[in-house]
Amino acid sequence: MPASANRYHAWDGSQEPFGRDADELFDRLAEDLFQGADFEYALHRLLSRGWRDARGRRLPGYEEMLERLRNRRQQQLKRYNLNDVFGNIRERLNDILRRERQGIQDRLGQAPDAARRVLEKIARKKQEELDRLPEDVGGAIRALNDYEFMDEGAAQAFQQLMEELKRQVSQTYFRNMTQTMQQLQPEHLGEIKQMLKALNQMLRDRLEGRTPDFDGFMRRFGQFFGSNPPRTLDELIQQLERQMAQMESLMQSLSPEQRAEMEQLIASTLSDPELQAEMAELAAALELLSPRPQLGQRYAFYGSESLPLQEALGLMERLQSIEDLEHALREGYQGSQLSAQQAQQLQELLGPDARQAADQMSELAAQLERKGYVQRGRRGMELTPRGMRRIGQKALRDLYSRLKRDRFGDHPISVRGLGSERSEDTKTYEFGDAFSLHVERTLMNALRRDGPQSPIRLKTDDFEVFRSEYSTQSATVLMIDMSRSMPLRGYFYAAKKVALALDALIRSQFPRDHLQVIAFSDLARPVRSGQLAELTYNESIYGTNIQHGLMLARQFLNRFKTGNKQVIIVTDGEPTAHMDGQEPVFFYPPLPETFQKTLLEVQRCTREHIVINTFMLDNDYHLVAFVKQMTRLNGGRAFFASADRLGDYVLLDYVDRKRKASR
C-alpha cells in the first residue's frame, strides 16, 4: 500500500482524535461530582492532588508544590539572620576612618615648621569631627558626605563606597532600567526627576479615575527602560511594585534601630531632597494600587548565618519570588497559567517535574475549555452544557458497562433502543445513539469546518445520525431523597448518578420523552437538567417530605397529554415531613398526619393515572410498611435495591416499560 494511502476502520464510538488524557481526567472530575461535590470543588481537588500521566509518571499537584515552596522559604528563614546586615559597610567605614586619621598624622609629620601650628589646628578640628560621628552606619555616612577628607586615599575609598551603595539601592528600585537610571549620575539627575514626576502624575491619574497617557510617557522617557520596555502601564506598575516591595520587605524585617539606620543610609545615598520626595510619592502610589495590604511583608529570620546588605536584598528577591509563585499557583485553580518567567522560576526552585506538572495542569484547563466542557466565569472555571452532558453520558456508560458484564434476570438492555422507527430528522451523534449515520451531512459538517481538502478529516462532532421516532411517549418524574440520612449512609452517590444516567438516556435514546428531577428533603424543589451535575446536599437539613415532592410531580406531569406518566421515588426512609400551608412540618418519629397527607397525594396521583414506582435503599420496617400502603393505593411497584445496583434497576425498568408500551 502506498505510504500516502488512508486507512479506514469501523467506527465504534471509542475513537477520539483529540487525545484521551483530558477526557479521562474529566471523568475523574465526574466521580467527585457524583459524590455531591460542585465542579469548582472537584476541579480544585484534582489540581490539588495531581495525577499520573499517560506514561504512568506521577505529576505533583498544586498543594504539594505549595508545600515545597513553603519549605524552601522556611529553609531560608532558618538559615539566615539580619542582625549584622550593615557589618561589611561598618568594616569599610572603620577602615576609611583609620586611613583618614593616619593620613592626618602623616600630614602633620611631613609639614614644615612654619605651617605646623596652623595644620595642627586643622587636624584637631578634623579629629573632633571624626570623634563626633554617629555610631550608626547611616548617620555616619550622612555626616561624612559633608566632611572634607585630608587623606586622598580615604576620600577615594569613601567615594567608591558611596558609588557601590548608590548602585545597590538604585538597582533595587530600578533594576530593569538603563545604567543611567541605576547609577543616578549627577548629570542626568534633572531628567531622572522629570521622569519620576511624570510617572507619579500617571499614577495619580489612575487613582483618580482619569486615563493616563502611557504612550506619551514612553515616547518621552522610553530611553530609561532599556531594550525590553513595559508595553502597558499595568506592566510598568507591576514591575516597579515588585522591585519596591523587596526594599519594603527588608525594612519590615529589620529591627526598629536597624530600620532607622537603613532610612539614614537611603537618605544619604539618594541625597537630593526633590528626588527623595518623588521616590516617596511613587512608593505611596504603588502601595495604593497594589492588591496586597502592603508592598512588602516582614520575614522572621532565626538562623545563624549573617548577611551583608547586598545579599540581604538578593534574599528578599528570592523570598518574593516564592511568594509570587505561591500566588500564581493558587490562581491556577481558576484556570490562570504561569508566565514563562514564573515557569522558569518554578523549575529553578522545585525542579523540572514541578514545571512539567504546572504546564500540564494549565494545559488541562485549556484543553477542557477547547473541548467545550468548561468555560471561564465569575467563579473561575465553570461547567458548560456540553460538559454537563458529558458527565451524564459518563454515568450512563458506567451503568451500561456494568450491565454488559453482569446481566441478571430477563432484562437485557440494548443501547440501540427499542420499539422505534427511523425519522428523517437528524441530530449530532451522542454516546448511546443507534449509529444510523447520515453520510452526506456528516461529510458536509467536516467540509464546512475545514474546507475542501483530501483526505476529509472527520471529528466526533461531525457525525450526524438519524433520529429514532418511538411509538410511545412518556413523562417521568424522578424524585431523589436529599434528607440527611442519604449522604450519611452513602446512598447519595448512587441516587445522583442514576439521575444523571437517566437524563442522558432519555436525551440520547428517547428524545420525545420528558423527564423532571425533583430533589426533596424538608421541602421539594425541581432540578433542571443543567443543574444535575452539581446537585449537592445539606447535612444540616432534616426531613423526608415525599408529599411535597408528589405535589410538584403532579404539576409537572399534568402539562403533558401522554397516557404514560410515572413517578420514580428513590428514598431510604419513610415520610417525616409534610406541608402545612406554605411551611414544612418535620417530626420524628413521624406524625400520623404526615403519613395521611402523603397517602392523600398518592391517591391524587392515582386518580390522574400517574404510576408511582418506589426504589427503597433500605429495608427499614417502617419504610417497607409505608411503601406497601402506597403501592396498594396506586398499583405501582416497589423494589428493594442496594446502592450499587440502583442504577441497574432504574434503567432496566425504564427501558422495559418503553418496550411494553410500544408493543
What is the DSSP track for 104-169? HHHHHHHS-HHHHHHHHHHHHHHHHHHHTS-SSHHHHHHHHTT---SSHHHHHHHHHHHHHHHHHH
In a domain, 373, yes or no: yes
Phi, psi angle pair for 249, to nearest 5°: -65, -40
User: Is residue 317 in a domain?
Assistant: no
Report the range of poorest mean pLDDT among 337-341, 372-376, 424-428, 475-479.
424-428
Residue 367: how many other CB atoms lie within 10 Å: 19
How does the average pLDDT of the chain come out, rounded?
79
Give the span between the Cα atoms of 496 and 654, in whole angstroms.
17
Residue 624 confidence (pLDDT): 86
pLDDT for 418: 36
**Given pLDDT bands bounded at 50, 70 and 90, which one contains residue 99?**
very high
pLDDT at residue 412 greater than cutoff 50: no
| Residues ≥6 apart with Cβ < 8 Å to 418 | 655, 658, 659, 662
The answer to whether residue 401 sits within a structural domain is: no
pLDDT band with cut points at 50, 70 and 90 for residue 235: confident
**Range with top average pLDDT, 26-30, 64-68, 245-249, 370-374:** 64-68
Listed range (101-110, 353-362, 494-503, 639-648) with the worst mean pLDDT:
639-648
Is the model more confident about 485 or about 539?
A: 485
- At 434 the pLDDT is 62
pLDDT for 130 beyond 50: yes
Whether residues 491 and 625 share a domain: the answer is: yes
What is the mean pLDDT of the segment spanning 304-320?
87
- End of a domain among 235, 265, 295? 265
- Of the listed ranges 17-21, 91-95, 324-328, 381-385, the one predicted with least confidence: 17-21
Q: Stretch 618-643: mean pLDDT, rounded?
A: 85
Contacts of 450 (CB under 8 A, 6+ apart): 456, 457
Q: Are residues 106 and 42 in the same domain?
A: no
Average pLDDT over residues 2-19: 39
Residues 332 and 479 occupy one common structural domain: no
Phi first, then psi: give them for residue 469, nearest 5 degrees: -95, 125
Summarised one tens digit per residue, pLDDT across range 176-200 is 554 544 455 566 677 878 888 998 9
* Residues β-bridged to residue 10: none
CA 518, 521, 525, 531 torsion-angle sign? negative
CA 228 vs CA 37, 79, 223, 344: distances in Å: 46, 36, 10, 18
Residue 387: inside a domain, yes or no?
no
- Backbone CA torsion sign across 320, 325, 327, 328: positive
One domain for residues 344 and 451: no
Instruction: Write the pLDDT tens digit of every residue in 520-555.
Output: 999 999 998 888 887 887 767 788 999 999 999 999
Q: Give the residue, 524 or 275, on which the prediction is more confident.
A: 524
Q: Give yes or no: residues 340 and 253 share one domain.
A: no
Among 244, 265, 286, which residue terminates a domain? Answer: 265
Q: What is the pLDDT of residue 405?
A: 46
Rounded to two decimals, the pTM is 0.59
Residue 417 pLDDT grade (very low, low, confident, very high; cuts 50, 70, 90): very low
Q: What is the band of 408 on the pLDDT scale with cuts at 50, 70, 90?
A: very low
Residues of the chain with pLDDT > 70, as a percent, come to 82
Is 298 among the domain residues?
no
Angle between helices 152-173 and 87-110 (to 10 degrees): 160
Residues 435 and 550 in one domain: no
Q: Is the pLDDT of residue 287 over 50?
A: yes
| Confidence at 168, pLDDT banded by 50, 70, 90 | confident
Residues 33, 125, single domain; the answer is no
Q: Residue 98 above 70 pLDDT?
A: yes
pLDDT band at 413 (very low <50, low <70, confident <90, very high): very low
Q: How many domains does the chain have?
A: 4
Q: CATH number for the domain including 599?
A: 3.40.50.410
Q: How far apart are CA 174 and CA 177, in angstroms?
A: 5
Within a domain: 93: yes
Per-residue pLDDT, 184: 55
Full residue range of the structural domain in which residue 33 is found: 21-79+323-381
Residue 443 C-alpha cell reads as: 461529510
- Asked if 247 and 296 count as a contact pair (C-beta separation under 8 A), the reply is yes
**Looking at the structure, do residues 72 and 171 belong to the same domain, yes or no?**
no
For residue 583, the cross-strand partners are 580
With cut-offs at 50, 70 and 90, classify the pLDDT of residue 275.
confident
Cα–Cα dist 319/73, whole Å = 6
Across 158-178, average pLDDT = 74
Q: Could you tell me if residue 452 is inside a domain? A: yes
Backbone angles phi, psi at 415, to 5 degrees: -70, -5
Q: Are 226 and 351 part of one and the same domain?
A: no
- For 451, phi and psi rounded to 5 degrees? 80, 170
> Would you state the pLDDT for residue 243?
78
- Residue 135 shares a structural domain with residue 234: yes
For residues 495 and 346, membership in a common domain is answered with no
Residue that is last in its domain, among 220, 243, 265: 265
Local structure of 425: helix, strand or coil: strand
Say if 386 falls within a structural domain.
Answer: no
pLDDT of residue 40: 73
Among 64-68, 275-279, 426-430, 466-470, top mean pLDDT goes to 64-68
pLDDT of 9 reads: 42
Q: What is the mean pLDDT of residues 211-220?
A: 90
pLDDT digits (tens, 9 = 90+) for 548-588: 999 999 999 999 888 788 998 988 889 999 999 889 999 98
pLDDT tens figures, 384-394: 777 777 777 77
Q: How far apart are CA 326 and CA 343, in angstroms?
A: 12
Task: Provide the strand spans (E) within 193-244.
Answer: none
Q: Is the pLDDT of residue 350 over 90?
A: no
Go through the chain and tell me how many residues it has.
663
d(CA 647, CA 394): 13
Is 655's pLDDT higher than 70? no
Higher pLDDT, 180 or 274: 274
Q: In the prediction, which pLDDT does 529 show?
A: 85
pLDDT tens, position by position, 36-54: 666 777 777 778 887 776 6
Please tell me which residue, 38 or 510, carries the higher pLDDT value: 510
Asked whether residue 449 falls in the same domain as residue 565, the answer is no
How confident is residue 415, by pLDDT bands cut at 50, 70 and 90? Answer: very low
The three state secondary structure string of 47-59 is HHHCEECCCCCEE
pLDDT the model gives residue 402? 54
Q: Between 368 and 611, where is the model more confident?
A: 611
Instruction: Give the pLDDT confidence score for residue 169 in this predicted structure.
Output: 74
According to DSSP, the β-strands at 583-586 and 474-481 are unpaired
For residues 240-261, average pLDDT: 84
